[in-house]
Amino acid sequence: MALRRRSIKDTRGEAALFRVRALVGFVLILMGLSVLVVRYSYLQVQRHDEFALRSENNRVKPRAIPPARGLIFDRSGVLLADNVPAFRLEVVPEQVKCMQGMSSSVSEVASQDDGDTDTSKKQQVKCMQSMLSAIREVVPLDDGDIDAFKKQLKQNRRFDSVPLKLHLTEDEIARFAVNRWRFPGVDVVPYLTRRYPYGALFAHVVGYVGRIDADDTARLDPDRYKGTSHVGRSGLERSYEDILHGEPGYELVEVNVDGRVQRVLETHAPIPGKNLYLGIDVRVQKAANDAFQGRPGSAVAIDPRNGQVLAMVSVPSFDPNLFVNGISKADYTGYMTAEDKPLLNRALKSAYPPGSTVKPFLALGGLELGVRRPEDTVLSTGEFCIPGQQRCYRDDVRGGNGTVNMVRAIQLSTNTYFYKLALDMGIDRLANWMGSLGFGKKTGIDLLGEAEGILPSREWKATRSKYAWFQGETIIAGIGQGYWNVTALQLAHATATFAGHGTPYAPRLVMATQAVKERPVPLPNPPAGPSLIRKPHDWDVVNQGMLAVVNEVGGTAKGQFTGFPYLVAGKSGTAERFSRRSNDYDTNKNTAYLAARHRAWFIGYTPAEAPRIAVVAMLESGAWGASDAGPIVRKVMEAWIASTGGPVPPNNTPETAPGPASGEPSAPEAPEDTPMATPADMSAMPAENTSAPAPDDGGNP
Amino acid sequence: MIDALQARFLRFVRRVMTRPRIDLPLAFGLFLLALVGLATLYSASGGNMAMIGGQATRFVMGGMLVLLISRIPPPVLRSWTPWLFAASVVLLLMVAGFGEVRSGSKRWLNLGVMSFQPSELLKLTMPMMVAWYLHPRQLPPRWKDIIMVGILIGIPAGLIAEQPDLGTALLVSAAGAFALFLSGMAWWKIGSLLAAVGAMIPVAWHFLHDYQRNRVLTLLDPESDPLGKGWHIIQSQIAVGSGGLFGKGWQHGTQSRLDFLPEHTTDFIFAVFSEEFGLVGVICLMLLYAFIIGRCLWIAMEARDTYSRLLAGAIGMSFFVYVFVNGGMVAGMLPVVGVPMPLVSYGGTSAVSLLTGFGVLMSIHANRKTHS
């Protein structure tokens, strides 16, 4: 065995052996290289489509271009909500470099593959913190800015820019420009912000937009709102958000791995939001607002022929411009703590007992349901007692109005007549009839947040109380007291429905929309149902009663409309703010108390032959409906006549110049100084009559 | 005195330049490869002329190194071998003692003026040492010799793996193992050794660093961590796959130009190549590598003695390991380890150490058997 192992090397044999091994090795190597080629052909041929797509997705990113928000105009084309260029501070998180001489950028730290991701994240947060504290010395930031920024930071990709502060002042822009080199990844970027030239005048109608916050991002369609910074928060800005917002466009950009744009491949322009045209004329709105002289209350005017809202004010109001780019804490607490609640839209959300203003509607119900004939009379003695009960109900006038028929009962607002009528109708029929006029439910106006008020009924009481319905409750329901609660809008809606001969229309603030470069298109507003009045004569009777209120001797509002060019029909309402049982009501003779102890209502419409405007005014605290709320209605009607080019009343025309928000520094020229530049398109506006305002002027269907 | 030395040196240089004793086909293959490497680097670096210039300079210096080393006869090399090997192992120990730590591993030795990785030396001194050891022995090697060679391989490979630098450890041990393979080690011995190594894998897994284990795990399911550790693998495969049959064209690879592909000038440059030149380009490059390796083995077969044969063969075959490991890594077949694509990846050390090996091959070629 050992002998076979020669100690001398067999050189020739070795060479041969090597040759074999080298060949085998080479074959193995070729096989190995073939394995590689097979793997590459698998990736490059078989899975080519998949990887080609992924490579394309890597490279090409869509970038949203936010649409310009639709503008809002008044009836004649006066701008109520405008887009104005402004500048904001934006931060691209991943480009933020560390302060205090830390040399590495955030992205570099993050890209170390073996680096602990936790530490790099902490590093990023630290960098962001140091940047924020450093930038605060250049551009003042409040905590709200920082909070909103941090919230958005979490939701965005690291290469998407996040707004840090909106609406920079010129001074801030200049100061940042000088220090810009210190803040990589931070830049001043132009954008469009919202401006409300009329400020407080339309705050409760137009509303305002606000910066999109974390709750909004959860609610909004992320695709439609990519790149958009503001969303409608209240008023029409909110309820017409869909129409105003528009559709974002996008551009396809080639990005590198850091998301930095290399070039734009293609652009798809955004579709701007549609413009809105309101039925309100800025002059009418202004007149209505000024008529309140700052006293809390609200007024609503509606065109009975189509439901268009012609004026809607809630006093006091607020400046919506403060909310657009984030309201300061001081301003906000100021509004929130103010005793007269300027942020509350009284026309829409505050419900009060309507008082005697419900009487014409009840009378109409009596006729329609066959409970009363116009000539039926009731003796008013100053007190109405239910047979067999102790409790009695009073008339306004001691001794009563004597024998009254329906017309006279409306004219004099005779309680006894309506106590009896309510009793004869019964609560069920009463509630049913009044409900058909829109009380106790939403009117369907194109605003969000309407209050429903309270329509007294057995059903309503059953949900609130364990007691059954009492007959006495029916009686006081007949004069708009007791459980009754209505909003000014509801009452205006009911008044307009009546004035329009019973045809109900949902109130509409917006009468037309206008896509960019197109003519305005009227928004259809078909009647919500058939006319509520089956016998036209019934309407004549109640109309006669309401005319008597204003025009006949003894009418509760006689004298309020002296010299008015058209016939006005109306009804006052005076609801008690405080219980009559309190001693104050009778004993407190303080004049301030007397002037404020009621809620003063007045409803009216004109021209009475063919009504074209129905107005409701409500003062939260007034002495009497007719004398306090009546003049407000008159001023609204006068302004409306003036705005439609009708005859201006010869006398009693104080402040006919409804200048735009006199106190507003940002307000534009007064509309009547600069002839209103009504867009040519506006000739196509519905229900617009710039010509002779004949009372029989045909309205919209 | 100095004049005389200078004159001698110049004479030597002139001789090297005028009568190069090199193998033309191999030189041509390497030249072609260097051109492909420079072209790919130009595209991958986005036309960074500083990088191109640096790489080209290294190629020129490497080429001169090839010419110089080709003048050293193999017997001289063989006589230096134990000393060279011992020196490189000592340097490795010094690294383990007071090496420089860079991004979590201790691979560098700072010599004041420059720092370098002693492990690179082993890529050449390891096959030299194995060839030196087997040269006087009776071949095929017996168990005793195999174990000796195993120890020779194991000590430096273990030191390198400990740094940790798994890629280089793999290359170094492969170079040694190829010498053993070429020496004619019996197939059944190879088989049982491989079986033993296979049995060791679970034990080795235990000794791997966490990041190394993660690399293996990520390879198995890259999508599990698409932005973290799987990013390299995913983006590299996207680059390769999107290249298709004919590629996106030179300088049109979006994955690298837009920086989606990490390390696209170094370890992942082959992904750029695949993206821009497609499967056709990959096959051509593989054929070029096969030609170079084949030529190396041809030179080995023509070599005069055992030492030269084993050394030349081992250098040629370890060239394949580079290609296979890097190509497999880029294609998502093998874990991410720091093995460059030879002469294509950007980086000085590897190009120089590779070309030094080819210098040895040229020397072996120059001293081949006179009759053939």
Instruction: Please report which confidence band the pLDDT of residue A560 belongs to, taking 50, 70 and 90 as the band edges.
Output: confident
Residue from A181, A179, A139 nearest A163 by CA: A139
Domain-embedded: residue B106: yes
Residue from A648, A603, A647, A597 nearest A624 by CA: A597
Question: Which part of chain A is CATH 3.40.710.10?
Answer: 282-516+538-684
Please give the distance of CA B89 from its chain centroid, rounded to a whole number. Answer: 18
Lowest mean per-residue pLDDT among A147-161, A529-543, B258-272: A147-161
Question: Which part of chain A is CATH 3.90.1310.10?
Answer: 62-102+117-278
Q: Cα dist. B123→A250, A374, B277 in Å?
A: 55, 118, 30
Strand order from edge to edge, sheet including B115-116: B100-102, B105-110, B115-116
Establish how many alpha carbons lie within 13 A of residue B145's alpha carbon, considering only the half-sphere containing its beta carbon.
24
A43 pLDDT higher than 50: yes
Q: Which has more confidence, B119 or A625? A: B119
ipTM for the assembly: 0.91
Residues with Cβ < 8 Å from A148, sequence gap 6 or more? A211, A213, A326
Instruction: Please report which confidence band the pLDDT of residue B7 belongs to, taking 50, 70 and 90 as the band edges.
Output: confident
Residue range B182-209: average pLDDT?
A: 85
pLDDT in the model for residue A154? 74
CB contact under 8 A, B239 and A33: no
A546 pLDDT higher than 50: yes
Domain count of the fold of chain B = 1
Under DSSP, the state recorded for A70 is: P
Residue B218 — φ and ψ, nearest 5°?
-65, -35
B31-83 pLDDT per residue, tens: 999 999 999 999 988 888 888 998 999 899 889 889 888 888 899 999 999 99
| A549, A410 contact by CB (below 8 A) | yes
Query: Of all residues in chain A, what percent are helix, strand and coil, respectively (each to 5)?
Result: 40, 20, 40
Distance CA B291, CA B36 (A): 15
Mean pLDDT of chain B: 86
**Other C-beta atoms within 10 Å of A662: how many?**
11
CA A184 to chain B, closest CA, distance in angstroms equals 20
Instruction: Please report which confidence band the pLDDT of residue A592 belongs to, taking 50, 70 and 90 as the band edges.
Output: low
Which residue is listed with tokens 């044969």?
Answer: B309
A255 pLDDT higher than 80: no
pLDDT in the model for residue A639? 93
Residue range A304-323: average pLDDT?
A: 93
pLDDT in the model for residue A667? 36
CB contact under 8 A, B260 and A256: yes
Domain-embedded: residue B263: yes
SS3 of A558, please? coil
Domain-embedded: residue B88: yes
Q: Residue B156 corresponds to which tokens in the numbers above? A: 């430096």
Q: Which has more confidence, A288 or A138? A: A288
CB contact under 8 A, B259 and A47: no
Distance CA A406, CA A111 (A): 87
Residue from A313, A290, A287 nearest A300 by CA: A313
Q: Which has more confidence, B333 or A113? A: B333
Is pTM beyond 0.80 here? no
Q: In this complex, which of B137, B238, B313 lies closest to A58 when CB atoms are compared?
A: B238
Distance CA A600, CA B140 (A): 119
Instruction: Please report which confidence band the pLDDT of residue A8 belongs to, taking 50, 70 and 90 as the band edges.
Output: low
Domain-embedded: residue B10: no
The amino acid at residue A125 is V
CA dihedral A310, A315, A321, A323 (to 10 degrees): -120
Burial state string for A300-317 with b = 16 or more CB within 10 A and e = fewer than 16: bbbbbbbbbbbbbbbbbb
Q: In this complex, which of A40, A50, A59 lies closest to B331 when CB atoms are compared?
A: A40
CB contact under 8 A, B258 and A18: no
pLDDT in the model for residue A615? 95
Instruction: Please report which confidence band the pLDDT of residue A310 belongs to, taking 50, 70 and 90 as the band edges.
Output: very high
Using CA coordinates, name the residue in chain A closest to B214.
Answer: A114
A354-389 pLDDT per residue, tens: 989 999 999 999 999 999 998 888 888 888 887 777
Residue range B325-338: average pLDDT?
A: 87
SS3 of A239, please? helix
CA B280 to chain A, closest CA, distance in angstroms equals 9
Residues of B in contact with A5 (CB under 8 A): 138
Under DSSP, the state recorded for A44 is: I
Residues of A in contact with B235 (CB under 8 A): 58
Under DSSP, the state recorded for A85 is: E
CATH number, domain A62-102+117-278, options 3.30.413.10, 3.40.50.720, 1.20.1050.40, 3.90.1310.10: 3.90.1310.10
pLDDT in the model for residue A668? 38
Residues with Cβ < 8 Å from A549, sequence gap 6 or more? A410, A411, A413, A555, A556, A557, A558, A569, A570, A571, A572
Answer yes or no: A356 catalytic. yes
Residue range B315-344: average pLDDT?
A: 90
CA dihedral A464, A470, A476, A482 (to 10 degrees): -20
Domain-embedded: residue B372: no
Lowest mean per-residue pLDDT among A341-345, B111-115, B181-185, B197-201: B111-115
Q: How is B273-321 classified by DSSP, letter by letter? A: HHHHHHHHHHHHHHHHHHHHHHHHHHHHHT-SSHHHHHHHHHHHHHHHH
Rg (CA), chain B: 21
Q: Which has more confidence, A164 or A603? A: A603
SS3 of A289, please? helix
Distance CA A624, CA A577 (A): 12
User: Beta strand pairing status for A378-380 and A383-385?
Assistant: unpaired
Residues of A in contact with B260 (CB under 8 A): 55, 58-59, 256-257
Fold of A282-516+538-684: Beta-lactamase (3.40.710)
Catalytic residue among A356, A380, A457, A643: A356
Using CA coordinates, name the residue in chain A closest to B333.
Answer: A39
Residue range A96-121: average pLDDT?
A: 48
Q: Any idea what the Cα angle at residue A684 is, between residues A682 and A689, rounded to 5°? A: 80
Q: Residue A401 corresponds to which tokens in the numbers above? A: 């109005």
| A474, A351 contact by CB (below 8 A) | no
Q: For chain A, how many helices (H) and strands (E)?
A: 24, 23
pLDDT in the model for residue A60? 76
A179-197 pLDDT per residue, tens: 888 887 788 888 889 999 9
B290-306 pLDDT per residue, tens: 999 999 999 999 888 88
SS3 of A344, please? coil
- Per the structure, the complete domain to which residue B238 belongs is given by 21-366
pLDDT in the model for residue B219? 65
Rg (CA), chain A: 37
Q: Which has more confidence, B317 or A596? A: B317
pLDDT in the model for residue B104? 67
Q: Which residues pair with B108 in a beta bridge?
A: B100
Using CA coordinates, name the residue in chain B closest to A21.
Answer: B182
Residues of B in contact with A255 (CB under 8 A): 258
% pLDDT > 90, chain B: 40
Residue from A684, A686, A681, A682 nearest A698 by CA: A686
Q: Residue A593 corresponds to which tokens in the numbers above? A: 């108390």
CB contact under 8 A, B182 and A25: yes
Q: Residue A405 corresponds to which tokens in the numbers above? A: 């028929």
Cis peptide before A67 (omega within 30 of 0): no
Q: Any idea what the Cα angle at residue A657 is, between residues A653 and A660, rounded to 5°? A: 145
Residue range A576-590: average pLDDT?
A: 61
Distance CA A202, CA A208 (A): 10
Q: Which residues pair with A230 in a beta bridge?
A: A211
CB contact under 8 A, A18 and B178: no
B132-157 pLDDT per residue, tens: 999 888 878 888 999 999 999 999 99
Q: Which residues pair with A252 in a beta bridge?
A: A62, A266
Which residue is listed with tokens 């405007």?
Answer: A613
Using CA coordinates, name the residue in chain A closest to B288.
Answer: A33
Q: Which has more confidence, A681 or B313? A: B313
Mark out the alpha helices in A307-352 (DSSP H runs).
321-324, 329-337, 346-349
Lowest mean per-residue pLDDT among A74-78, A405-409, A622-626: A622-626
| A18, B313 contact by CB (below 8 A) | yes
**Other C-beta atoms within 10 Å of B298: how many?**
18
CB contact under 8 A, B320 and A32: yes
